[in-house]
Amino acid sequence: MKVSILQFPGTNCEYDTQYAFEKLGAKTEIIWHKTTSIPNDTDLLVVAGGFSYGDYLRSGAIAKFSPVMSAVKEYANNGGKVLGICNGFQVLTEARLLPGALKRNEGLHFISKHHHLKVQNNDNVFLKKLESGDVVNIPIAHHDGNYYINEEGLKELEANGQILLKYTDANGKISNPNGSTQSIAGVCNKEKNVFGLMPHPERAMEALLGSDDGITMLEGFLAS
């Protein structure tokens, strides 16, 4: 499997992402934001975390205008699988490849810690190795992770099974760290080929470092 990983000025999780997928046996390539095409052999395109363009203006708002984003949209619209992690999720919502928006955390502070997530829907390649109701422990690190969507949009997400993950405690009870609507931590598009989440599964690959639950999450792409 070939994983292409986008890199913008300010991206800082591309090498963690590269390590995670290579640990699972995938081939990887880091793609600079000025590239105007996605490699033909790409099986998964990852928009990695960090602070693209320093998060100036609004997180992900400048990155959506980078030359590579036209190719990202074409790749996604042709059915290619795309995963946005943290800032990557913000970029994908700004580019309207995913519904909703990410705004400042409710407490106005940067949050960096492990946090539990409950799987809401596994009818997709991303979470196919997990069961609905499973709880995983994945790090979060964000300042603008408060997912927002209006009431009409929320009903659509629920009806289409687009809500992937919610923030919970270890027992699966809602525990919302940032004010996200319905405690949502991750969503997908209607076609279920574009995925976004604020937590960092690429940082949960070693039990020694607190959790290896990210392995099971990312393995879904390799099994598809």
All domains of the chain in start order, with CATH: 2-223 (3.40.50.880)
Contact 133, 197 (CB under 8 A): no
Question: Does the annotation mark 22 as catalytic?
Answer: no
Per-residue pLDDT of the chain (224 residues; tens, 9 = 90+): 999 999 999 999 999 999 999 999 999 999 999 999 999 999 999 999 999 988 888 888 899 999 999 999 999 999 999 999 999 999 999 999 999 999 999 999 999 999 999 999 999 999 999 999 999 999 999 999 999 999 999 999 999 999 999 999 999 999 999 999 999 999 999 999 999 999 999 999 999 989 999 999 999 998 87
Question: Does the annotation mark 188 as catalytic?
Answer: no
Enclosing H/E stretch for 159: helix 151-160
Considering the entire predicted model, what is its pTM?
A: 0.96
- 114 beta partners: 139
* Separation between Cα atoms, residue 99 and residue 87, nearest integer Å: 15
Identified catalytic residue from 33, 86, 116, 188? 86
Q: Which two tokens stand for residue 154?
A: 């929320």
Which amino acid is present at 180? S
Contact 149, 162 (CB under 8 A): no
* Separation between Cα atoms, residue 43 and residue 123, nearest integer Å: 19
* Separation between Cα atoms, residue 78 and residue 175, nearest integer Å: 37
Q: Which two tokens stand for residue 220?
A: 């879904």
Question: Does the annotation mark 200 as catalytic?
Answer: yes
Question: At 51, is the secondary structure helix, strand, or coil?
Answer: coil
